[in-house]
């Protein structure tokens, strides 16, 4: 099928994308790499000097570094868990026939359309506020002490908010995968006596494998650099309980306009993210093949 | 309001039609505080006087704005012609030569009318680098009815011990009345602004003359422990994520006995449209411990012009207009004296009509009680009352703020928070080269 | 589906599905309701659900204070522009990777995805400097370029997985009938791939519409999209929840409406290998 003609045509067609992405990657990356070896503070221009690995040393020995690393993994893992399990359940539910399917689908998809800053603010002030939030109101109504979400369980609260934002995405992809499941296979196994859990595990789940892989890959990419939600709700605190790697880079660099330090942090973050990506591809990449 | 709106529309239409050939456009970056928004609504007055100048607004939240304008001015991005900055940025930027000097504003601007404390915070080497739009300090706002019910009377200049006693007396947690509401949210401009200013009154300082951090000293320990004990006994739940707005909501819905925060809050809490306790609010100076410094801060949002802009003349005209005596009168005429931007000019406080505003005098006294060049009991190598005017301060103070916020939330002891603060500040200052 | 679904079962599922749907949608509903309250009402506790003084003052204030229409147009141009540009670049690329795969294709794909791992915070200053030198600051062109580049990997990847589903024999048949490469793509591939392209297009518009880092940092007044519009209502001093709700409602309404009308397309296209 792949003739000589189409091979060279293919190379030609893929080249704009490759060239652009190459440029997008290399130019800022090399500048960032360059800056990371400088002592460069925006507020004191003209005093740049080569400092070798000093910025890296400071970033990696920051007491918050390991906490941020751990938080990042928890954040990504937590959201993935909730959205995939929740998304599967929701997809199963929405796949059943019922009245008003279209409307409920839109209701479920809606959170994905809201800007992250807005959803974070809404959750923080209208729901999680221990004095005037809805959760507090509900707790008081049944006689319980309101729970201070953002102070006592900051990372969990952020995981909750982000899961709410990404659940629609996971549900959508899993639902469409589900809807193309051949029902005859299911019916045949049912007539053979397989009960629901067995049918689910041995027929439905493998079919969903590819869709789940897609969800994991795309979401991981976005979840590794969650930033707006943390900035708006907890500012990384209390302490460093809700600081992830991206926020650490922000606090180190933008807040102090320390371009050198921030660049070093950025490079470290890229390396770590790529490690995660390679891991992921090793584990589930085979699901992508037809 | 509608008249202003219509006038604004009319003026805009007119200015677009009449000035297509020679229009100069000023891009103004500003904070979205109430006074700035009011200014945006009144620009018809400016464009009527200057039909060849058009205004474009970029309105953002304070921290985002600060990041944007700093990035822009440091890289000479040229995106803004007028920037709204504060007393923190002016000393740093003026040293870099990034700002246009404003000593040559016309005589009727009356530069000597500016309040000395504010003017001092915006002047470097004798040249004014930013025109103050509004100035603020901090003070105690309290509920007269709750104080009376507790059998206490608030003096004009209370001590911290009295505040502690009054707060605990007014607290009734079962009925959701909390004796005192204070900032707890982590951030250099959030809890650390309050705690730094408070620490001054406890005799503490951020750095000694050799830039060694002082968190391991007794004064800071007293400050932090007093704050945490007070909040545990008399503060609202969730205080560690409460900033200005959260405390404002609490106070306006009647849940706070006292609130120590920016003087500009006074106009919000006495506004019957928004506040349920508008007619029960009293004011007092920020407390002290008898050591010579009170716990109030000083801040002025000001308009500055980046050096190297092509539109310096037009920008100066705008800056002069927005901070002039005429502008104050314009606001008074349109919105009442209580909404005039406070804390910039002596003439405002000598005006008998303004004196009728309940918080006017206390605001002035608070501003005059703050001295950014000598903020602490012991000498220090920096300027700034609730901040330290060095570029590294934002990041350091936010990290320290997170430690203190965590201590308030009960996740670590005050001693650990102070030890962490000491360690990280020392690390950052060494990295930045202040400590050899 | 030949199964007979009992009405009881259908009713139960309906109740459960609607309850969950409303629960998930609730924060948005709450935001919309809050936009009609006064500021004092918005922070009142106990919170009022439907019984309060409905007012339009927030919308009036928002409309007076900022130019919704200009921000809206900027958002439309930026999202639409970056999507169209992205598709133009991505479709040929995805074609070549799906139909003329080499042993490097997988790696190239992974590499493209890895370019998305660049944390924007770390590269802000370099990009800012480059844009300043190229005069792209505060221009819609500049934003279109950035948004295209950051979303290109996702577009290519989604199209790639979709194209893999299309049987190559149809394309070969067209080629053997004498179609050139260009007409093969335009007249044979694209019509078959419409659902996949449509859903990729919609996903990208949503991602570009909500992108809040580059749009805030690279614009000032002229090219600011709705994300900046919303950001201007988040104030640390003074009550703002009702106004923010009004601004948010105005910002998400267009995309919510678009989502409503296009959800069938969105659903149809995202099959990811389940169409046989």
| pLDDT tens by residue, A104-138 | 888 888 888 888 888 887 888 777 776 667 787 78
Confidence at residue C35, expressed as pLDDT on a 0 to 100 scale: 87
Q: Which residues of C232-257 are buried (b: 16+ CB within 10 A; e: fewer)?
A: bbbbbbbbbbbbbbbbbbbbbeebbe
Exposed, middle or buried: residue B68 (CB in 10 Å: 0-12, 13-18, 19+)? Answer: buried
| Top-ranked range on mean pLDDT: pick from A82-91, A112-121, A135-144 | A82-91
Element (H, E) at A133: none
Task: Report the alpha-carbon distance of residue C194 to residue C186 in Å, rounded.
Answer: 11
Q: Is C63 on the interface with B (CB under 8 A)?
A: no
E strands along B286-329, which residues?
298-304
Instruction: Say whether A277 and C113 touch across the interface (CB within 8 A).
Output: yes
- Per-residue pLDDT at B252 exceeds 80: yes
| pLDDT tens by residue, B94-104 | 988 899 999 88
Q: How confident is the model at residue C269 (pLDDT cuts 50, 70, 90)?
A: low
Q: What percent of chain C has pLDDT over 90?
A: 10
Q: Which two tokens stand for residue C228?
A: 């900046």
Task: Report the alpha-carbon distance of residue B114 to residue B345 in Å, rounded.
Answer: 4
Among A162, A154, A156, which residue's Cα sits nearest to residue A227? Answer: A162
Min Cα distance C230 → chain A (Å) is 8
- B365: number of Cβ within 10 Å: 20
Q: How confident is the model at residue C105 (pLDDT cuts 50, 70, 90)?
A: confident
Q: Which two tokens stand for residue B194?
A: 């309050």
The distance of Cα A268 from the centroid of its chain, to the nearest Å, equals: 18
Cα-flanking dihedrals φ and ψ of residue A5, to 5°? -60, -50
Q: What mean pLDDT is predicted for residues B146-152?
A: 92
Q: How confident is the model at residue C144 (pLDDT cuts 50, 70, 90)?
A: very high
Task: Report the alpha-carbon distance of residue C45 to residue C28 in Å, rounded.
Answer: 19
Task: Report the alpha-carbon distance of residue A260 to residue B189 in Å, rounded.
Answer: 24
CATH fold for domain A29-123+150-289: MetI-like fold (1.10.3720)
Q: Is A117 on the interface with B (CB under 8 A)?
A: no
Confidence at residue B257, expressed as pLDDT on a 0 to 100 scale: 93
Q: Which two tokens stand for residue C192?
A: 């078959």
Instruction: Say whether C13 and A114 touch across the interface (CB within 8 A).
Output: no
Residues of B in contact with C128 (CB under 8 A): 71, 75, 77
Confidence at residue B22, expressed as pLDDT on a 0 to 100 scale: 59
Instruction: Say whether A256 and B236 touch across the interface (CB within 8 A).
Output: no
Among A248, A243, C154, which residue's Cα sits nearest to residue B406? Answer: A243
Q: What is the CATH code of the structural domain delimited by C67-232?
A: 1.10.3720.10
Given the DSSP bridges, would you call strands B82-85 and B298-304 parallel, antiparallel or unpaired? antiparallel
Q: Residue B284, SS3?
A: strand
Element (H, E) at A9: helix A4-36
Task: Report the alpha-carbon distance of residue A178 to residue A180 in Å, rounded.
Answer: 5
| pLDDT tens by residue, A275-290 | 887 887 777 666 655 4
A59 Cβ contact partners less than 8 Å away, ≥ 6 residues apart: A65, A252, A261, A264, A265, A268
| pLDDT tens by residue, B214-240 | 999 999 999 999 999 999 999 998 888
ipTM comes to: 0.80
Task: Report the alpha-carbon distance of residue A111 to residue C206 in Å, rounded.
Answer: 11
Return the DSSP state at B113: G
Confidence at residue B13, expressed as pLDDT on a 0 to 100 scale: 53
**What pairs with residue B132 in β-bridges?**
B302
- A144: number of Cβ within 10 Å: 10
Q: What mean pLDDT is predicted for residues A259-281?
A: 83
Residue spans per domain, chain A: 29-123+150-289
**Chain C neighbours among B 18-57 (CB < 8 Å)?**
27, 29, 32-34, 37, 40-41, 56-57
Length of chain A equals 290
Instruction: Say whether C21 and A104 touch across the interface (CB within 8 A).
Output: yes
Ramachandran region of residue B416, left (φ > 0), alpha (ψ -120 to 50) or beta? alpha
Searching chain B, which residue's CA lies closest to the CA of residue A61? B427
| pLDDT tens by residue, C163-217 | 877 777 777 777 777 767 677 767 777 777 777 788 788 888 888 988 888 888 8
| pTM for the full predicted model | 0.81
Out of B32, B34, B248, whose CB is closest to C233? B32
Q: Residue C102, SS3?
A: coil
B89-93, B209-213, C255-259: segment of lowest average pLDDT: C255-259
Q: How confident is the model at residue C275 (pLDDT cuts 50, 70, 90)?
A: very low
**End-to-end CA gap in chain A:** 18
Confidence at residue A1, expressed as pLDDT on a 0 to 100 scale: 45
Confidence at residue B36, expressed as pLDDT on a 0 to 100 scale: 87
Out of B74, B402, B431, whose CB is closest to A238? B402
Q: What mean pLDDT is predicted for residues B282-290?
A: 92
Task: Report the alpha-carbon distance of residue A254 to residue A43 in Å, rounded.
Answer: 11
Q: Is C48 on the interface with A (CB under 8 A)?
A: no
Residues of C in contact with B81 (CB under 8 A): none
Given the DSSP bridges, would you call strands B256-262 and B178-181 parallel, antiparallel or unpaired? parallel
Mean per-residue pLDDT over chain A, rounded: 81
Confidence at residue B414, expressed as pLDDT on a 0 to 100 scale: 94
Task: Report the alpha-carbon distance of residue A15 to residue A11 in Å, rounded.
Answer: 6
- Per-residue pLDDT at A25 exceeds 50: yes
Q: How confident is the model at residue B9 (pLDDT cuts 50, 70, 90)?
A: low
Q: Which two tokens stand for residue C110?
A: 């992974």
Q: Are B300 and B118 in contact (CB under 8 A)?
A: yes
Among C208, C202, C71, which residue's Cα sits nearest to residue C144? Answer: C208
Give Cα separations from B168 to B17, B229, B256, B280, B405 (angstroms): 63, 11, 12, 19, 21
Residue spans per domain, chain C: 7-59, 67-232
**End-to-end CA gap in chain C:** 17
Return the DSSP state at B174: G
| pLDDT tens by residue, B51-92 | 899 898 888 888 788 888 888 888 888 889 999 999 999 998
Exposed, middle or buried: residue A47 (CB in 10 Å: 0-12, 13-18, 19+)? Answer: exposed
| pLDDT tens by residue, A198-250 | 777 877 887 788 788 888 888 888 888 888 888 877 777 677 788 888 888 88
Q: Residue B211, SS3?
A: coil
- B51: number of Cβ within 10 Å: 15
Q: Which two tokens stand for residue A175?
A: 């639902």
Out of A42, A54, A238, whose CB is closest to B74? A42
Confidence at residue A97, expressed as pLDDT on a 0 to 100 scale: 82
Q: How confident is the model at residue A197 (pLDDT cuts 50, 70, 90)?
A: confident
Return the DSSP state at B172: B
Confidence at residue C239, expressed as pLDDT on a 0 to 100 scale: 63
Mean per-residue pLDDT over chain C, rounded: 80
Confidence at residue B21, expressed as pLDDT on a 0 to 100 scale: 46
Among B381, B388, B372, which residue's Cα sits nearest to residue B120? Answer: B372
In terms of pLDDT, which residue wins out, C236 or B337?
Answer: B337
Task: Report the alpha-carbon distance of residue C23 to residue C30 in Å, rounded.
Answer: 11
């Amino acid at each position: 099928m792949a003739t000589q003609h189409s091979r060279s045509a293919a190379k030609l067609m893929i080249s704009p994308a490759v060239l652009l992405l190459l440029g997008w990657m290399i130019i800022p990356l090399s500048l960032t790499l360059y800056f990371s070896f400088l002592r460069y503070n925006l507020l004191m221009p003209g005093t740049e000097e080569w400092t070798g690995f000093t910025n890296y040393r400071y970033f990696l020995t920051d007491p918050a570094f390991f906490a941020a690393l751990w938080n990042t993994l928890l954040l990504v893992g937590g959201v993935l868990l909730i959205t995939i399990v929740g998304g599967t359940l929701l997809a199963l539910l929405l796949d059943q026939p019922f009245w008003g399917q279209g409307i409920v689908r839109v209701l479920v998809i809606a959170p994905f359309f809201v800007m992250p800053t807005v959803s974070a603010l809404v959750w923080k002030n209208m729901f999680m506020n221990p004095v005037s939030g809805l959760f507090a109101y509900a707790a008081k109504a049944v006689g319980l002490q309101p729970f201070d979400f953002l102070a006592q369980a900051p990372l969990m609260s952020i995981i909750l908010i982000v899961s709410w934002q990404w659940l629609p995405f996971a549900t959508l992809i899993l639902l469409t995968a589900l809807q193309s499941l051949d029902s005859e296979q299911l019916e045949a196994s049912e007539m053979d006596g397989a009960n629901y859990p067995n049918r689910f595990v041995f027929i439905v789940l493998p079919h969903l494998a590819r869709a789940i892989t897609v969800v994991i890959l795309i979401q991981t990419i976005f979840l590794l650099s969650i930033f707006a939600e943390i900035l708006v709700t907890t500012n990384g605190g209390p302490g460093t309980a809700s600081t992830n790697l991206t926020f650490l880079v922000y606090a180190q660099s933008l807040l102090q306009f320390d371009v050198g330090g921030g660049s070093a942090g950025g490079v470290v973050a890229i390396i770590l993210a790529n490690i995660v990506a390679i891991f992921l591809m090793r584990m589930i990449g085979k699901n992508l093949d037809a | 309001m509608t008249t202003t709106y219509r006038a604004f529309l009319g003026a805009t239409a007119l200015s677009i039609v009449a000035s297509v050939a020679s229009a100069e456009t000023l891009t103004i970056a500003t904070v979205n505080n109430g006074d700035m928004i009011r200014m945006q609504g009144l620009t018809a007055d400016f464009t009527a006087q200057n039909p060849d100048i058009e205004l474009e607004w970029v309105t953002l939240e304070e921290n985002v704005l600060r990041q944007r304008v700093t990035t822009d001015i440091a890289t000479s991005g040229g995106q803004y012609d007028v920037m709204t900055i504060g007393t923190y940025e002016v000393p740093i930027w003026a040293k870099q030569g990034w700002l246009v000097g404003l000593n040559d504003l016309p005589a009727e601007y009356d530069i000597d009318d500016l309040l000395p404390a504010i003017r001092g915070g915006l002047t470097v080497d004798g040249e004014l680098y930013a025109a103050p739009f509004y100035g603020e300090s901090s003070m105690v706002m309290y509920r007269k009815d709750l104080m009376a019910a507790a059998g206490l009377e608030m003096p004009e200049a209370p001590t911290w011990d009295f505040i502690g006693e009054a707060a605990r007396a007014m607290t009734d947690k079962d009925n959701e009345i909390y004796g005192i509401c204070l900032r707890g949210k982590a951030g250099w401009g959030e809890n650390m602004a309050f705690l730094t200013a408070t620490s001054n009154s406890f005799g503490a300082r951020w750095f000694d003359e050799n830039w060694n951090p002082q968190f391991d000293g007794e004064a800071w320990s007293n400050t932090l422990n007093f704050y945490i004990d007070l909040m545990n006994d008399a503060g609202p739940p969730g205080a560690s994520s409460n900033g200005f707005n959260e405390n404002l909501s609490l106070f306006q819905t009647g849940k706070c006995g006292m609130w120590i925060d920016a003087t500009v809050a006074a106009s919000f809490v006495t506004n019957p449209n928004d506040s349920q306790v508008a007619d029960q609010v009293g004011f007092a100076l920020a407390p002290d411990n008898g050591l010579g410094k009170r716990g109030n801060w000083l801040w002025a949002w000001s308009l500055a012009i980046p050096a190297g802009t092509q539109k310096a003349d037009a920008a100066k005209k705008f800056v002069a207009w927005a901070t002039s005596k005429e502008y104050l009168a314009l606001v008074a005429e349109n919105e009442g004296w209580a909404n005039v931007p406070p804390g910039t000019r002596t003439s405002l406080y000598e005006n008998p009509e303004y004196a009728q505003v309940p918080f006017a005098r206390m605001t002035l006294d608070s501003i005059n009680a703050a001295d950014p060049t000598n903020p602490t009991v012991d000498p220090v190598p920096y300027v700034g009352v609730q901040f330290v005017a060095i570029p590294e301060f934002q990041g350091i103070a936010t990290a320290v703020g997170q430690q203190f916020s965590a201590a308030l939330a009960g996740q670590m002891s005050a001693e650990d928070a102070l030890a962490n603060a000491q360690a990280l500040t020392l690390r950052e200052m060494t990295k930045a080269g202040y400590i050899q | 589906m030949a199964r007979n679904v009992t009405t009881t079962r259908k009713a139960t599922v309906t109740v459960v599905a609607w309850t969950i749907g409303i629960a998930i949608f609730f924060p948005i509903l709450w935001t919309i309701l809050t936009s009609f309250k006064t500021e004092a009402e918005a922070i009142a506790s106990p919170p009022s659900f439907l019984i309060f003084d409905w007012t339009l003052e927030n919308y009036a204030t928002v409309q007076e204070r900022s130019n919704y229409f200009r921000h809206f147009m900027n958002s439309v141009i930026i999202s639409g522009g970056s999507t169209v540009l992205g598709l133009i670049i991505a479709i040929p690329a995805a074609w070549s990777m799906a139909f003329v795969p080499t042993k490097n294709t997988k790696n190239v794909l992974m590499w493209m995805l890895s370019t998305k791992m660049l944390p924007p915070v770390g590269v802000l200053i370099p990009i800012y400097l480059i844009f300043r030198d190229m005069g792209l600051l505060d221009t819609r062109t500049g934003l279109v370029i950035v948004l295209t580049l950051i979303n290109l990997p996702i577009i290519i990847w989604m199209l790639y997985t979709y194209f893999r589903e299309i049987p190559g024999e149809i394309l070969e048949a067209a080629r053997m009938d004498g179609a050139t490469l260009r007409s093969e793509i335009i007249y044979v591939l694209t019509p078959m791939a419409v659902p996949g392209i449509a859903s990729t297009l919609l996903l990208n518009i949503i991602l570009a519409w909500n992108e809040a880092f580059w749009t805030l940092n690279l614009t000032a007044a002229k090219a600011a999209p709705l994300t900046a519009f919303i950001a201007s209502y988040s104030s640390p001093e003074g009550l703002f929840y009702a106004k923010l709700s009004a601004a948010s409602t105005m910002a998400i309404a267009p995309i919510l409406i678009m989502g409503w009308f296009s959800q069938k397309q969105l659903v149809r296209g995202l099959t990811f290998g389940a169409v046989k």
